[in-house]
Amino acid sequence: MDDSLPLSLRSQGYPASPIRKLIPYAKAAEAAGHKVFYLNIGEPNHDTPAAFFQPIHAYQTPHLPYAPSQGHPELLIAIQGYFQRLGYPLEKHHLQVTQGATDALLFSLFTIANSGDDILTFEPFYPNYLAFTAQLGLTLVGIPTTMENAYALPSLEEMETYLTPKTKAILISNPSNPTGRIYTEEELKRIVNFAKKHQLWIISDELYHTLTFAGKKATTLLAYQKVYPAIVVIDSVSKRYAACGARIGCLINTHTPFMECIFQLGQSRLGVSLLDQLGAAALYRLENPSLAHLPALYEARRDKVINFLSAYPWIHYVKPEATFYLMLSLPIHDSNHFCTWLIEHIHLDGERVLITPAENLYVTPGKGKNEVRLALVLEEEPLLRAMNILVYGLQQYMTLFEPLNPSRPVHE
């Protein structure tokens, strides 16, 4: 085929994933015999509960049919039971099972906004938000939050400066990927009041709502749906149950016209994997005895890493309140170049580390160029070895590429 054949304009401007774009360098390092510590992608490394696999192994029907487009009845009932235990009773027609949270987010954006409309979100954000909006011809508008202010949300007045006549929704992640911040009750009320005042939808990505530390809790925006039905809550089995490969998500909303559109979208893509839905139903039915240790596990990893990094005052961060992510501000000027150089050139005892450059976690020009995101998804001992490689590589990088940087660390 002729390589000059034109492709669509939207495909030419589609953003590369900052999380996955450096994986070829990591695979090349592994092919050369090196061990790579993958801190780029938020895939939990603990075992998926055995309950997920039991109904799959038990499935003996000789024919594997399509699942119902809204979701398998067992899974819908299990999701209802899970949220009932949290104090949020849901009707079946409030739910749509999706192919991961990705499907839920795309369905929501498709239903809410027209091509050319604006979607607000807080920076830094989960980078695939930029990809999802790009797919639908939407503009993602970043409202900055800063490490210096512990990623606290701006005032209502400041948020209003980002509104345009084309603004249709505000997309949040609570707890936040990538900052690990849990939004306070006051901040959530501010978001809801902002949306109500300007007749905006709210999409609340709540994949990490159980992975919170130090006794803190993340309030789901389900608590506000009765006073403002234009709230869509997104859930998934990926992070909470370490079942990323199942690709089972869930969309929750009580607004009937919205859900009717969502059901039509579900019908158009036929259905989600039947067997994975049966496994996910078993996960949602768990009363959490096998998962109760996970917040403490991730909190301990966070503390180990922060204790290690605290010896280097030129590395800045905010202690996460939840999730397994950590944002770092480094004395560099191009995190894309640094992360690429790090995986390609730096190893200690045959070990390398892959991390995520943060520039694409912002849409504001110039933001994130000195920041990286870590996913703390290794056991403590290899995690500390990865940190040692990171710091060593950073010191070498500063000498080679940023010798005039006034914040350049002194080699120890």
End-to-end Cα distance, the chain: 56
Residue 352 has a CB neighbour count (10 Å cut-off) of 24
Q: Which residues lie closer than 8 Å to 360 by C-beta, 6 or more apart? A: 15, 16, 18, 127, 130, 368
Reported as half-sphere exposure (CB side, CA atoms, 13 A), residue 101 has a value of 21
Asked whether the predicted pLDDT for residue 214 surpasses 50, the reply is yes
Instruction: Give the pTM.
Output: 0.94
Which residue's structure tokens are 């609340």?
Answer: 204
With contact defined as beta carbons under 8 Å apart, do 213 and 299 qualify? yes
Q: Could you tell me if 252 and 233 are in contact, meaning their C-beta atoms sit under 8 angstroms apart?
A: yes
CB contact at 8 A, 325 and 127: no
Start-end of CATH 3.40.640.10 domains in the chain: 50-56+63-285
Report the range of poorest mean pLDDT among 4-8, 52-56, 392-396: 4-8
DSSP count for the chain of H helices, then E strands: 13, 12
Mean pLDDT of 70-92: 97
Class for domain 50-56+63-285, per CATH? alpha beta
Residue 142 neighbours by CB distance under 10 Å: 19
pLDDT tens digits, one per residue of 291-310: 888 999 999 999 999 999 99
Q: What is the pLDDT of residue 261?
A: 97
pLDDT of residue 364 exceeding 70: yes
Which of the following CATH numbers is that of domain 9-47+292-401: 2.60.40.1180, 3.20.20.70, 3.90.1150.10, 3.40.50.2300?
3.90.1150.10
Residue range(s) occupied by CATH 3.90.1150.10 in the chain: 9-47+292-401
Of all residues in the chain, the percent with pLDDT exceeding 70 is 96
User: DSSP letters along 123-174, please?
Assistant: ES--THHHHHHHHTT-EEEEEE--GGGTTPPPPHHHHHTT--TTEEEEEEES
Q: How confident is the model at residue 213 (pLDDT cuts 50, 70, 90)?
A: very high
Coil/strand/helix, residue 372: strand
Tell me: the pLDDT tens digits for 311-341? 999 999 999 999 999 999 999 999 999 999 9
